[in-house]
A and B are shown apart, each in its own frame.
Chain A
Amino acid sequence: MSDLSSKDSSLDNLFRRDPRAEWIARNRLHPLHGEMLHAGSGEVRGPSGLLRKNPHVIGFIGPNGIKRIDRANVSSAAVGGKKRSGEAKEVQLPLHIVENPDFYIMVVADMVGGRLTGHDKDILGLAHQLVARRNGAVTLVCFGENKETQCDLAGVDRLIHLEGAEYEGFAPEARLTALQKIEAQYKPHHWLFPDSVHGGTDLACRLSARLGERLAAQAWQVNAEQTVCRGASASHDILRDTPRILTLMEECGDAIDETRHQVLPISLDSIEQVSPAVVDKGLIAVDSNAVPLAEAEFILSAGNGIHNWDQFHSTAAVLGATEGASRVAVDDGFMPRSRQVGASGTWVTARVYLAVGISGAIQHMQGIGQCDKVIAINTDAGCDMVKRADLAVIADSEEILAELTRLAQAYSSSKNQEEKSDAA
């Protein structure tokens, strides 16, 4: 029964025509014509007795949510059918419930920037394939800040979130201690790690060496019995029994998209940390323009809307952003060709892309398809870049860049003062 009603709600949004009502509305000699025409809207006369037309009831909302006025067939429109509600309703996916799980599968996610990456989501999907309808719980283990709001849609049944100063920055030894604790407490069936440079491989190798279990590296076809993994610099496939610890390549499984999951936090006994042998001294400032554009993390990109180029370069330097440009800026000779972002330039993978004065031609939008957060500064509120952006600012680029420079300088000077006072 509930299944039927959920189907109905998806059809609710469809625009339904009533051919009979339309036919009656067209046929002025039909006995029901008058009633049909005035059913929805009565005549409204103004104070002076003039007939008032309400422009809002003319026409109907088409399937795309755009208003349509059927001028060829005026009268039928008013009677047409029920109006489509503007926004599609949020569909509530069925909840996948795991009570008292018999076993756990641990997924240790990279969580680059505090969010699940596509790679992490694929691995969560694969973990559910390994559970295979038994009563097992896919558990996400994440370290540090967790900004992910859609863990339930990614397939997380249980969550172990380890936060604290000891896990920040470069801390594989502290993380390994935590994983050992999890191993002792929950004895998971499998440990799944992303085979990535973001620390997944490193942690997997450390755990494998500590537990004395041989891992399967670069696995890409995994089921409960057998695993195919790449070897010899990806020139061989190795078919072997599925071990307990796996590092998985990208697109190893399909991400969860049809169920919601519980995301219940599970407890972990307190962990005694020993002081690490490798001491983190923090990130080193690198020349942001020496970083290849394709792998830069933060790009400040300039387009036709930039007039003060000296200011643009200085802002990029103060913010520590890698410079990019649209095709127009490159063609006009303000930026080198190697800085062009888009179809005939570089396809970038930045986490944050700040587009200044770029309206967003489709070739440019292709180039920034993989960017996580896009910020637009533009004078035209209707351009494609503003539609794509997570934060759009409608203003002249020059004054916003000036303000940004001022803010960045104030921030860095306050930080320097803090460091000085810490040292003192």
Chain B
Amino acid sequence: MQPSVKVVSLVSVGRHPQSGRSRRAEQDGRAVELGLKLASAELTVVHAGNAQEQVLRQYAGMGLLSLTVLEQESDCDAVPVLVSFLQDKRIDVVLTGVRAESGESSGMLPYLLAEKLGWPLVPRVADIISIQGGAAEVLLALPRGQRRAVTVKLPFIASVDNAAQEARQTAFGPGLRADVKVLNVDSVVDEAASQWQISAAKPRPKRIKVVKAKTAADRMKAATAKPMGSGGKVMKDETAAEKAQAIFDLLLEEKVVR
């Protein structure tokens, strides 16, 4: 990998799914890991928020010498400060998580950055294979474990999927020793979000199976019948070749054989 690639990873404060404590966010950790792979020590890690946050030390403990914090209050919008930070620098790749683990977690941040900066966005990246000649070859994570290769010109923004390389263990001491550079920025308060009523999540009700049968016989049938397919095609007397052809045609039609 060429050392000339300038990579920025954006990190946020995560939330442990069981205990609810703050932690290194899963996908942001992967974004830092991918950034370290691409740019090693040259990687810039940026956080918009509280500079005193202890979780930042966990990111720093992944082998970072320094960390940049755009200091602002928790009710402020992260997009404008990040846009002004990224705009005037010659940056090749910006890596983020798909969805934050705290706040609104709408997953909009990379899209808004891409729109404001006019850069292409690559969603749900599993790996960045190579960056050569001003273009990158990127592997996307698709559902069901599939992968898709795409190429994109620099600079671009990528959101890192859970399928990417897992974040390395963080070291406590180096994390404490890392340098936290605090930048003073003009932050904008997120007015729309202050209108919202936020409460602890209510468990969602399970969907109940409602039988809308008119007669007792139909209700009995609905309660006792085994789930059956709607009577498929049965091939009995054809030759083996014809039967296999029928199966293969169905596989092609469903596009599972490529």
Contact = CB atoms under 8 A, between A and B. Distances in A.
A351 B254 contact: yes
B150 interface: yes
B101 A292 contact: no
A268 interface: no
Interface residues of B, number: 79
Interface string B239-256: 011011111101110111
A240 interface: yes
A392 B217 CA distance: 30
A403 B145 contact: no
A251 B207 contact: yes
B107 A217 contact: yes
A286 interface: yes
Contacts, number: 240
Contact of B232 (A208, A217, A282, A391): A391
Nearest to B113: A209
Contacts of B252: 411
A280 B148 CA distance: 8
Interface string A230-251: 1111111111110000000001
A236 B200 contact: yes
B217 A408 contact: no
Interface in A188-228: 197-198, 201-202, 205-206, 208-210, 214-218, 220
A217 B145 contact: no
A389 interface: yes
Contacts of A296: 144-145
Interface residues of A, number: 91
B149 interface: yes
Given A198-B143, A400-B247, A352 B228 contact: no
A232 B105 contact: yes
Contacts of B201: 230, 234-237
A3 B121 CA distance: 55
A266 B226 CA distance: 41
A257 interface: yes
Given A205-B111, A352-B256, A403-B240, A280 B150 contact: yes
Interface of B: 15, 17, 20, 99-108, 111-112, 114-115, 120-124, 137, 139-140, 142-153, 156, 192, 195-202, 204, 207, 212, 214-215, 217, 221, 226-229, 232-236, 240-241, 243-248, 250-252, 254-258
Interface of A: 10-11, 14, 63-64, 113, 169-170, 172-173, 197-198, 201-202, 205-206, 208-210, 214-218, 220, 230-241, 251, 257-258, 277-284, 286, 290-292, 295-298, 319-321, 351-352, 354, 362, 365, 369, 372-375, 377, 381, 384, 386-395, 399-400, 402-404, 406-408, 411
